[in-house]
Chain A
Amino acid sequence: MSECIRTENLCAGYDKPIVRDLCLNVRGGEIMTLIGPNGAGKSTVLKTIAGELRKLGGTVSLCCRDADDISPRERAKRLALLLTEQPRASLMTCREVVETGRYPYTGYFGVLSREDKIAADMAIKTVNIEDFADSGFLEISDGQRQRVMLARAICQEPKVLILDEPTSYLDIHHKIVFLETLRRLVDEKKIAAVISMHELEFAERISDYAVGIKDGKVQCSGKSADVFTEDVIRKLFDLNEQLYARYFKKN
């Protein structure tokens, strides 16, 4: 499987560039984590890759095609998004939320075909949310909701999954359940996932590759084992030896 998502000299930002010259390459079945201090531009990069934000320079290619040449609908069939903030979707059941993932596949009036219903059922099963699939979306916990959003993204049958701090508000149990599910889905469905995270200990466990961003530039990148080292992390997050030792080392 060739690269699913690739950026070359990507320049991302709102009016002025926040991050410059970003080159990423993620293949199906791999998870790449973006780490870096607050305001480094992780979300900006992810939004730009996802096409939510207009890029300021460079190229993004999706499944070996320039993202600029892909229509929004086609992009939605290849790339799904998951954000920290959960939608305030009142009076929707979890199943209905998952079914919105079928949007790019349905016709003008959005009527779900039998295949669409099956796809939603499958997504609900794979993410293990059957127990509350028919509850109201606002009636379940944050952790459960984020798994519903993951099922929604999977229901879109994407090749690429972009996750912007998906576990930030969750408790440890739900963080782990979420990340385990994500890892399994990426492996099974050969999805390329790009995820931003602040929880370094978890990021190290689930990612294949990691990229550290700070001051508008890539500071470090490579295999997860090479990035999550004392030197790199201390530099990236401005931590002196004592602080690092106190918070990251056992005993």
Chain B
Amino acid sequence: MDKVTKIDQSSVDELYEEAGYWHVNTGDQIIHAKRMSGRFRTIKWYTATVWLIYFLGPYLRWGDRQAVLFDIPNRKFHIFDITIMPQDVWLLAMILLFFAIMLAAVTSIAGRVFCGYFCFQTIWTDIYTFIEEKIEGSPAKRHKLDKMPWNAEKIRKKVIKHSLWLLIGMLTGIAFTTWFTDAYEIWGDYFTLEAGIVAWTSVLMFTLGTYILAGFMREQTCFWLCPYARIQGVMYDTQTILPTYDINRGEPRGRLVKGNTVEGNGDCISCNQCVAVCPTGIDIRHGQQEGCITCGLCLDACDSVMDKIGKPRGLIRYSSHEELQGKKPQPLHKRPRVIIYFSIMLLAASGLLYGLTNLGTFDLKVIHERQPLFVKLSNGSIQNKYILKILNKTDKNMHISIDVDGPENLQTQGLKEKTLLPSGKLSSFTIFIRIPMKNLEDDRTPVKFTIHSYESYDDSVEYQSMFYAPKF
């Protein structure tokens, strides 16, 4: 600290005043975080716009239906050109696996990026506090307003704020339901009060849920409800980049005296701005902690102060533990965690891709009759009964042929040349197979059912079943 910078004492006095409000919050006090513009603030607004898809997505049309529609009553998920039925629900497992591992991968590289920039809890809370600030003013004013006795002014402000909050909650709920029922139809149903009980309940639950979680619970949700905050410790390592207070540069910290840093002190001037802006109310200078959602707002705050006192930016910055100790960060492709996570993600993505490109036209299940397993006919042949359940997964009616492969002299009964398979429906057929005893070599003989579509012969599906006979 050779050069002592002369700055305006009064400009930092304000900051010290604001800092006076901070103390460790265990849910007994509402955190009114200060809002500041800055790099990460801007990024946050951009990432928040991802959620516009949630609100606007359902209004996209695809042909004569909604582009993405999760039709629960009809057990069909429409995603653009693809229709997924319950039989293909294993794809969901792949999607979940992909995103679960992606969460782990991103966390190991750059910390809780999801929490800070994408999580609905963070973003809805951000929007709620944005409204709060617009109506009730800065954090200091809000603290004052909260302590004030009830008067017309306070009632007016509170009513407006809570109405807006509830409105956002309601829109969130309605947006949720539009993913499951045709978006244009359900709006009509809401206005004519004709929506079903499930829709109303969903809207009510979402309205209250959003209102309570984003309006009142806020950071307490991250602290005590969210499991992700609790397991972050095992997802980080020493190479994970996180918002970090550079302790070597900042300490010993001390207030400015008459606009000058005290000789021997570090760059941190104890202005507490990093704490004032923190939406979860933590002090980043205590190091990494479960309350940190890595939103980067303290970086903006600190940088602005560093600018003000003429020090280089980055006293609080995205940095890994190793980097802070002067080690060079390892490239991503040399970190085992990253390699393993990305391998699993690749696997899940491949499975998903395979599944989506091989959804198939039909789904065939052959159920062998159990009672009786087999019947001896008057000519000595053995007869088995099978129930074929065939699902037409396409949106067109189809005609199919059913073929049975098995031992020589196999005869079938109940097969039709050209069978109609209505679109989207499960059709059931009973088929008898008869085989003379002399053509059987064992009490169990494999038989194969093959289904071909007349509309496109390549669309076929097979099912291996068993033909039972008396014990040999």
* Co-assembled chains A and B: no
Chain A interface residues toward B at CB < 8 A: none
